[in-house]
Structure 1
């Protein structure tokens, strides 16, 4: 990496330094591009984009535990004997992708994502990315055995921070030159062919900026979505979204999307009014993630309890599906509530199952009480407008769960599967059910946590060729020399996504884009250099 000015030309220029950008740069070098430059508009201390703020989870198709053990560094022979981890086939992955996106995910993009997922992660592993089985997030120990659930088992060591550390190390080994505080401003094109031939960039600190052009026969855009841009959030996601809490980097402000559409007529694709948004600590910083606390502001323990809005009412089926298939859309549900906030509630049964990384006392402010009545009084001081309605909601919920248990005494509560323990019985149930993991919340002490909407990344992006990630123009023709990966790639996710598939997408399409860009550099680079 370097703090000096980038050179005036290269074979492949990558714009953006998250997982997708580093994957693309590494692939370009591996496939023969001699001079690969990666630029990022953030200062180096903010390196890694949104990838830094993730838990490092990757969703891949696999053949079960034996397929994954060679990739991970945290399982010994004895532990391996007590792990239940079933195969997650390509069909499982495809079904989940189509199911959670209501069938809107582009079929060809999905086929590439799923088909390449296993090999892409093994490729990252060969280049030094450290993987582990995600015991802390994706397994419960039930009856002495670790039961993995939700189709996702892999994470990177030390989460997103570790992933970026490993990417940087791999890039240095491969000879990729990295430049921070270098913002892409404009695509340069050949007026006769429309091919991208470079990028105008602004380099340096606020007090000492300089503008220059980096010529390149192949440019890969990996600059993120617009989740950190309040104006664009309100414009595309809808009224009130400018008030959402930014979960990751403050530098993903949609610049790349806007100049690609402006300069080469890039075609929009995907769900521009949709985003990945989670239940997020209401006391987290509003305009960017915290690089120390990072993903731990996520509050995903709602399947173990209930979520109540400030009017004292439930508003989602907390147990409608495994957390992996609901957490990315429940942030939007919270945003739609009065005040854009809610409370997560558990009793003494649920709190022991909460993950320490998200709910330990040093990370989150807990509201504790010995009775529901005491809890209602305390929540009133935190924004609950109707303590009476809250108590009515909790009484109705507890009555429904007790009725189910009385009718189904042999159905076992199990957080690692869709256990069918619900609020619905022959006596009726609730208008808004809790479909799984519905234990009564009547055993003190009680704990509540206040949550808001944390915006992770936006789903709207650019149309691409599913095989190469080449950008498609509004003419429906490829823009020669331009590729797009990561959050900027549109068409995969609509309304929701299967947890862990975002980082996998970055690796899969970054690898493909790097390969295609390297080939472009070989064939077009000589012509471009001869004209300089």
Structure 2
């Protein structure tokens, strides 16, 4: 197993999208720089949480013509049938403010929004393959392909394809990767406080570990949050969160967040009791994602139907907004239900609108019935505790729906709402009365945590809790960066943030290295 060198110019800790973006930015800004990436995971788990995403990137754009040059999956005929509104920087910022209750950090959010389009273009120039997200962000209605929710781009083959492309770009630019190498401590100059690298453990194929020191002029932290640490979830997110299923990598356990606070007094900011948490297949592995199934365990079709808890009661407005503005918080609502589970329900009107990659029978267990009573029996076999309440809840919901004059169009908020229910459905409230009927059992799948480290938005340099100033030689990006998201977030913003601030961290770090390098005449 390769052992990392004792020194390098730029040390990146974490092999997700943010880490790769930082390393690539540094290598391009200073081609002479020796850039390495380390990760505590084995090579088979490269990519961190980024691997498990759908590869969605939110960006401000000027409409379809602005995005077509970036994508590889759209024909001229297909493009002629696409309806896609301009998504301006103001639109992006307004969504960020709306989703976070106005608590997004203004400096961070300004840069995220203004750099979003250039960051996507930079990735594309470096071999990241983008596509229009027909399967997740568009519906075909009357022959028109309608994009909705301000989100249009994804990477080819989702997160898996994103990491594959990053690995190719890293190799092209001479960036070396070392796995099975957890960072255990940040090293500092005792006189200046400058971070000078990290202490690491290198694990051999036999399982033995040896302690090494990697000296670096600049160190970039991109090792994710604490979403895979049940103890920290319960401690910071609250009771019951240890029961959440882990959507992605099991290696994001918050070690580096705690080390940064301990070793250099890094300032902690943001929503430490908040996280991105989705409706997730209840039969999925509890403590780590499945790299084969990956994001397909997501169950985001709830706006097309209704959800009831284990006792058969509705508990959330399934149609409060477009799916990509609610999916990151819906898992929190499920986690608060008895047994941390719920049932998603549809009738024959809407089952064809469900995305096959999430709901096909070889991905999720189908609970079916030709009548509501038969559906209830199927759900009873999967853990439903009150059949009559289940039947009554659907009947009550059906009685509160109203026939609308508007044509069914899930690509817009149609205002077709229930009337008189304690838990309303604000849009797409079709009755569930046309068999056959389908239900799936879901739980909560945690994606990433929102609390993180304070950084200078311009440089991505980590700030000190003690001095309020930048910690010399230390930068952060991705899920380790705190302050952007609170309670909720606009879908696709996470990967964009990783690239925007990873790019800035890498470029700034490369500048430090170049300035510290002695002129050739002095060598």
- Short-chain TM bin: over 0.9
SS of equivalent to 2:510: helix
Q: How many residues align?
A: 517
CA shift for structure 1 position 477? 1.1
CA shift for structure 1 position 336? 0.4
What is the rounded CA distance, in whole Å, between the counterparts of 1:40 and 1:81 in structure 2?
45
What is the rounded CA distance, in whole Å, between the counterparts of 2:377 and 2:61 in structure 1?
49
Task: Give unpaired runs (5+ residues) of structure 1.
Answer: none
Task: Report the more deviating stretch, 366-375 or 319-328.
Answer: 366-375
Matches within 5 A, 1:69-218: 69-205=68-204, 207-218=207-218
Name the counterpart of 2:278: 278
Name the counterpart of 1:457: 448
CA shift for structure 1 position 390? 1.3
What is the rounded CA distance, in whole Å, between the counterparts of 1:24 and 1:431 in structure 2?
48
Aligned mate of 1:411, from 389, 406, 410: 406
What is the rounded CA distance, in whole Å, between the counterparts of 1:58 and 1:36 in structure 2?
26
SS of equivalent to 2:12: strand
Name the counterpart of 1:521: 513
Name the counterpart of 1:359: 359
What is the rounded CA distance, in whole Å, between the counterparts of 1:180 and 1:310 in structure 2?
42
- 1:185-206 Cα distance to aligned partner (Å, 9 max, x none): 1000011111101111111236
What is the rounded CA distance, in whole Å, between the counterparts of 2:199 and 2:352 in structure 1?
54
Q: Is the 8 A contact 1:20 1:509 kept in 2?
A: yes
CA shift for structure 1 position 525? 5.3
CA shift for structure 1 position 120? 0.3
- 1:368-391 Cα distance to aligned partner (Å, 9 max, x none): 001111112222222212111111
What is the root-mean-square deviation in Å for CA atoms of aligned residues? Answer: 1.2
- 1:277-316 Cα distance to aligned partner (Å, 9 max, x none): 0000000000100000000000000000001001111111
What is the rounded CA distance, in whole Å, between the counterparts of 1:147 and 1:383 in structure 2?
38
Q: Give the TM-score normalised by structure 1.
A: 0.96
Q: Is the 8 A contact 1:413 1:421 kept in 2?
A: no
Matches within 5 A, 1:409-488: 410-424=405-419, 429-474=420-465, 475-488=467-480
Q: Is the 8 A contact 2:33 2:513 kept in 1?
A: no
Name the counterpart of 1:265: 265
Name the counterpart of 1:489: 481
1:256 aligns with 2:256: yes
What is the rounded CA distance, in whole Å, between the counterparts of 1:274 and 1:317 in structure 2?
20
What is the rounded CA distance, in whole Å, between the counterparts of 1:255 and 1:420 in structure 2?
46
- 1:189-231 Cα distance to aligned partner (Å, 9 max, x none): 0111111011111112362322111111100000010000111
Q: Is the 8 A contact 2:307 2:343 kept in 1?
A: yes
Q: Is the 8 A contact 1:17 1:222 kept in 2?
A: yes
CA shift for structure 1 position 411? 2.0
Name the counterpart of 1:302: 302
Q: Is the 8 A contact 1:216 1:525 kept in 2?
A: no
Name the counterpart of 1:500: 492
What is the rounded CA distance, in whole Å, between the counterparts of 2:197 and 2:507 in structure 1?
18
What is the rounded CA distance, in whole Å, between the counterparts of 2:228 and 2:146 in structure 1?
36
Task: Give unpaired runs (5+ residues) of structure 2.
Answer: none
Matches within 5 A, 1:207-246: 207-246=207-246
Q: Give the TM-score normalised by structure 2.
A: 0.98
Name the counterpart of 1:340: 340
